[in-house]
Amino acid sequence: MARSTTGTTPVPTPALAGPTSLPDRRSRLVRPAARGRVAVIALAAALVTAVLAGRYAGDTRAGRTDRSLADLVDVQHGAARLLAQAFAALGGPLPVAVALLVLAPLAWVLRGGRGLGLVLAGPPTAMVTTSLVLKPLVERTRGGELAFPSGHTTSVASLAVTCGVLVLGLTAVPRAVRLLAVAGLAGLVVAVCAGLVVRGYHYPTDTLGALGVAVAVVLGVALAVDAWADVVADPGPDPRAFDPGERPTDVLPRASEG
């Protein structure tokens, strides 16, 4: 509050604008009421990837599911094939690196340390899981290259899921706008998957397995970041609430209530 120049009547001081004034900066990535559902979704996604990995381990050919899905996006030539190549290229190292560099500071501004932690841990963990763990373990190949899960799909999908988590938590933004943004991200991921299949880089089930990795890892990291941040942010019982004259057996119940 400030005093007016003509008297002593308090004059409201305008609030300073800045990152700390954003209502969602200190909020959890996942609402406590939604944590159970998010955990179930992450486990279901991991199960899908595990089932596909077991089915196609060591395989080199397209399965029945692959052939059925590939028929839906069968494009042999023309502008559609060029567009497919453009979408497929979005999962390359350079576009992914640029996306991470842009997303990290944006997540810090909008969602604080939790958002930054999700960006720095979520997509990279998903990419490492695909490239260094699952691909050598499953050993499914196409054209002599390890194919399951799709690394390009994992990169794009993990970034999209991360953006979705960040956007859905922006309560200051209208819900319809947030859902529209998530739908756009989902459409982008589908386009990348289709592009990879059209160009013959991956079987459809390679992209499905990658989607499972991205969803499971990023949502799992979001829950872990929230849990860790809650522990760090909890100051514990207030020492001033204890009376030195009380016995320990009298103090403990009061500490647990706080």
Digit-coded pLDDT (tens) for 81-118 = 888 889 999 999 999 999 999 999 999 999 999 999 99
Distance (Å, rounded) from C-alpha 36 to C-alpha 234?
A: 22
Any idea of the CA torsion for 38, 44, 45, 48, to the nearest 10 degrees? 180
Are 149 and 212 spatial neighbours (Cβ–Cβ below 8 Å)?
A: yes
Is 244 a domain residue?
Answer: no
Distance (Å, rounded) from C-alpha 221 to C-alpha 227?
A: 10
Give the CA diameter of the chain.
85
Is 217 a domain residue?
Answer: yes
Is 3 a domain residue?
Answer: no
Neighbour-count burial of 176, counting CB atoms closer than 10 A to its CB (0-12 exposed, 13-18 middle, 19+ buried) = exposed
Q: Which residues contact 91 (CB under 8 A, 6 or more apart)?
A: 150, 151, 152, 153, 154, 155, 156, 192, 196
Q: Identify residue 171 by its one-letter amino acid code.
A: T
pLDDT band for 257, please (50, 70, 90 cuts).
low
Is 102 a domain residue?
Answer: yes
**pLDDT at residue 14 tops 90:** no
Is 138 a domain residue?
Answer: yes
Distance (Å, rounded) from C-alpha 223 to C-alpha 219?
A: 6
- The count of structural domains within the chain is 1
pLDDT band for 119, please (50, 70, 90 cuts).
very high
Is 11 a domain residue?
Answer: no
Percent of the chain with pLDDT over 90: 66
pTM over 0.85: no
Whether cis (ω within 30° of 0) applies to the bond prior to 149 is yes
Q: Identify residue 41 by its one-letter amino acid code.
A: I
Q: What pLDDT, in 10s, does the model give residues 140-157?
A: 999 889 999 999 999 999
DSSP string covering 190-245: HHHHHHHHHTTSS-HHHHHHHHHHHHHHHHHHHHHHHHHHHHHH---S-GGG--TT
| Number of H-type helices and E-type strands within the chain | 9, 4
Is 42 a domain residue?
Answer: yes
First to last CA, the chain: 33
Domain span including residue 100: 28-231
Say which residue, 155 or 75, is predicted with more confidence. 155
Is 88 a domain residue?
Answer: yes
Distance (Å, rounded) from C-alpha 106 to C-alpha 220?
A: 21
